């Protein structure tokens, strides 16, 4: 006999509402219901309930629970053990989303989760994720598939600077924030910031290929979102097109009609080739944080291509502001709370919200 199955996620103590607990008790109190625990995850247990064994009222209860599951929103934030990522998790969890706080280091990740739980945010769960590691990405995708069966929000936040920095030397320069933002500091910092080939690879594999690989692995789950999938790519003003001296590169990256993922990957290869041959300046790549700037320019271009391919989702990129974090050696001036506002706004966009856009914090801006 064909059997339809209800799949119900049951939250354990920290996550469950009294209502959900009551419904579960009602369901399981009937001896006619056969259930099997499909997962032993400490936070979730998935029960499969055979439809033909349910009474009308039990079916109604199960339907209610399924509806709850379909309106429950699940998010992933990458690089979330500190900085803007951690604050993004905090704000999303505070607004009722169940958030997977991911980090490449388990100790740093679990401590970050504990800090949020200490604030009373129980809907935060740790999962390991190194965005440069394909096995780690697949393990995360498998976990979400098993535990939630869908994903609603992906915030690609993890980032690397692409330089080796003499931090004492940088501090001694005492550069004012306006010079950082306008690009005036470009020549001043050259002696204290070095872009090595290895650092550039790490940066591009994190900020560009890391985002692509995580997104690719999670897209099938995002396509199963019942509340409207949202992808937020945390970019930087360093990736704005006007900052790239080479006019041809600017033109091609700005031409959405002809832009493809292959073309964007080709620019990354060309950049790395030019870096290896000490030809960055002569070929018109940004002098300020060259690998970082390229990684974010390519991330913006990728965001547009992806948004065009999946028009049913809201896929955007955002410059968070100049925020006081480790990635800029604490030269930033904004608070974490301010820095996470753009990501959170885009993660919670209502149906029909903008897609394929670049935001400067909370405002749409030019690519
Ligand atoms: N702060 C700003 O002013 C500013 C401006 C523009 C854009 N952004 C962007 O904002 C995002 C967040 O940066 P932030 O300012 O919050 O800096 P941050 O405090 O240094 O955080 C960066 C995060 O990325 C993680 N990460 C690095 N490589 C990773 C990998 N391979 N896999 C997983 N996680 C990885 C780091 O983990 P570990 O702790 O393990 O290193 C850390 O959690 C970045 O994309 C950055 O480019 C920041």
pLDDT digits (tens, 9 = 90+) for 351-364: 999 999 999 999 99
Of these residues, 292, 302, 322, 358, which one is catalytic?
A: 292
Indicate if the pLDDT at residue 268 is higher than 50.
yes
Among the listed ranges 71-85, 184-198, 349-363, which one has the minimum average pLDDT value?
184-198
What's the pLDDT band for 25 if we cut at 50, 70, 90?
very low
Distance (Å) from CA 361 to ligand 1 centroid:
16
Q: Are 209 and 311 in contact (CB under 8 A)?
A: no
Contact 333, 343 (CB under 8 A): no
Last residue of one domain, picked from the residues 38, 71, 104: 71
**Judgement on whether residues 238 and 133 belong to the same structural domain of the protein:** yes
Our measurement of the distance from residue 283's CA atom to the centroid of its chain's CA atoms, rounded to an integer in Å, reads: 32
Res 52 pLDDT > 70 = no
Distance from the alpha carbon of residue 80 to the mean position of ligand 1, in angstroms: 8
Last residue of a domain, one of 55, 71, 87: 71
The band of 155, judged by pLDDT with boundaries at 50, 70 and 90, is very high
- Mention every residue, 6+ apart, whose C-beta is less than 8 A from residue 262: none
Residues 98 and 62 in one domain: no
From 33, 52, 71, the end of a domain falls on: 71
Tell whether the model's pLDDT for residue 60 goes beyond 80: no
| Domain tally, the chain | 2
Task: Compute the distance from residue 234 Cα to the ligand 1 centre, in Å.
Answer: 9
| Predicted pLDDT at 154 | 98
CB 124 within 8 A of CB 116: yes
82 shares a domain with 31? no
Select from 215, 111, 198, 110 the least CA-distant residue to 158. Answer: 215
Q: Which atom of ligand 1 is nearest to the CA of 238?
A: 6
Atom of ligand 1 nearest to the CA of 202: 31
> For residue 55, is pLDDT > 80?
no
262 pLDDT band, cuts 50/70/90, is: very high
**Residues lining ligand 1, CB < 6 A?**
78-79, 81-85, 103-105, 108, 129-132, 157-160, 206, 210, 234, 236, 319-320, 322-323, 325-328, 332
User: Do 117 and 64 belong to one domain?
Assistant: no
Residues 109 and 216 both lie in one domain = yes
pLDDT, position 10: 36
Confidence of residue 66 (pLDDT cuts 50, 70, 90): low
**Residue range(s) defining the domain that contains residue 339:** 74-365
The answer to whether 93 and 123 are in contact (CB under 8 A) is yes
Strand partners, 100: 76, 125
202 and 255 co-located in one domain? yes
95: CB partners within 8 A, 6+ apart: 344, 348
d(CA 103, CA 124): 13
Question: What sign has the CA pseudo-torsion 332, 120, 232, 101?
Answer: positive
Residue nearest to atom 1 of ligand 1 (CA): 323
User: What CA–CA distance (Å, rounded) separates 102 from 107?
Assistant: 11
- For residue 39, pLDDT beyond 50: no
Do both 205 and 80 map to the same domain? yes
How confident is the model at residue 177, as a pLDDT?
87
Would you say residue 71 has pLDDT above 80? yes
Please tell me whether residues 28 and 155 are part of one structural domain.
no
Q: Assess whether 234 and 98 both reside in one domain.
A: yes
Query: Cα of 185 to ligand 1 centre, how many Å?
Result: 22
Q: Which residue, by CA, sits nearest to atom 37 of ligand 1?
A: 79
pLDDT of 50: 47
- The whole-angstrom separation of Cα 84 and Cα 335 is 9
pLDDT above 50: residue 307: yes
**With pLDDT > 70 as the criterion, what percentage of the chain qualifies?**
81
Q: Do residues 130 and 47 share a domain? A: no
Across the beta sheet with 314-319, the strand order is 124-128, 98-103, 74-77, 153-156, 230-234, 314-319, 358-360, 363-365
CATH number at residue 151: 3.40.50.720
Contact assessment for residue 354 and residue 337, using Cβ atoms and an 8 Å cutoff: no
In a shared domain, residues 40 and 82 = no
Q: What is the DSSP letter of 148?
A: T
127 in the same domain as 43:
no
For residues 158-162, average pLDDT: 98
| Ligand 1 atom nearest to 332, measured from its CA | 3
Helices 290-309 and 209-222 meet at what angle, rounded to 10? 20
Average pLDDT, the chain: 86
Tracing tokens 């945010």 back to the chain, one arrives at: 121
Question: In the annotation, is 292 catalytic?
Answer: yes
């Amino acid at each position: 006999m064909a059997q339809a199955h209800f799949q119900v996620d049951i939250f354990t103590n920290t996550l469950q509402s009294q209502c959900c607990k009551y419904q579960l008790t009602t369901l399981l109190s009937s001896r006619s219901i056969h259930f099997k625990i499909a997962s032993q995850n400490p936070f979730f247990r998935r029960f499969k309930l055979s439809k033909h064994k349910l009474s009308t009222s039990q079916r109604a209860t199960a339907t209610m629970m399924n509806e709850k599951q379909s309106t429950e929103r699940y998010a992933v934030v990458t690089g979330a053990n500190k900085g803007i990522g951690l604050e993004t998790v905090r704000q999303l969890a505070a607004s009722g989303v169940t958030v997977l706080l991911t980090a490449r280091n388990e100790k740093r990740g679990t401590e970050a989760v504990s800090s949020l739980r200490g604030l009373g945010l129980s809907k935060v769960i740790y999962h390991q994720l190194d965005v440069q590691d394909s096995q780690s990405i697949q393990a995360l995708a498998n976990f979400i598939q098993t535990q939630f069966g869908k994903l609603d929000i992906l915030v690609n936040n993890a980032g690397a600077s692409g330089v080796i920095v003499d931090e004492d030397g940088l501090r001694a320069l005492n550069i004012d924030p306006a010079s950082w933002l306008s690009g005036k500091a470009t020549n001043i910092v050259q002696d204290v910031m070095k872009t090595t080939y290895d650092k550039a690879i790490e940066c591009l594999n994190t900020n560009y290929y890391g985002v692509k690989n995580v997104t690719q692995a999670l897209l099938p789950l995002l396509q199963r979102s019942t509340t409207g999938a949202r992808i937020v790519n945390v970019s930087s003003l360093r990736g704005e097109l006007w900052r790239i001296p080479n006019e041809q590169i600017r033109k091609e990256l700005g031409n959405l009609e002809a832009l493809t993922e292959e073309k964007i990957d080709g620019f990354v290869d060309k950049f790395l080739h030019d870096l290896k041959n000490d030809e960055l300046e002569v070929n018109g790549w940004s002098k300020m944080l060259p690998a970082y700037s390229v990684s974010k320019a390519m991330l913006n271009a990728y965001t547009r291509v992806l948004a065009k391919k999946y028009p049913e989702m809201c896929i955007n990129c955002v410059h968070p502001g100049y925020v006081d974090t480790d990635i800029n050696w604490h030269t930033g001036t904004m608070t974490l709370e301010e820095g996470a506002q753009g990501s959170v706004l885009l993660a919670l966009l209502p149906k029909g919200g903008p897609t394929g856009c670049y935001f400067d914090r909370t405002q749409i801006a030019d690519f």
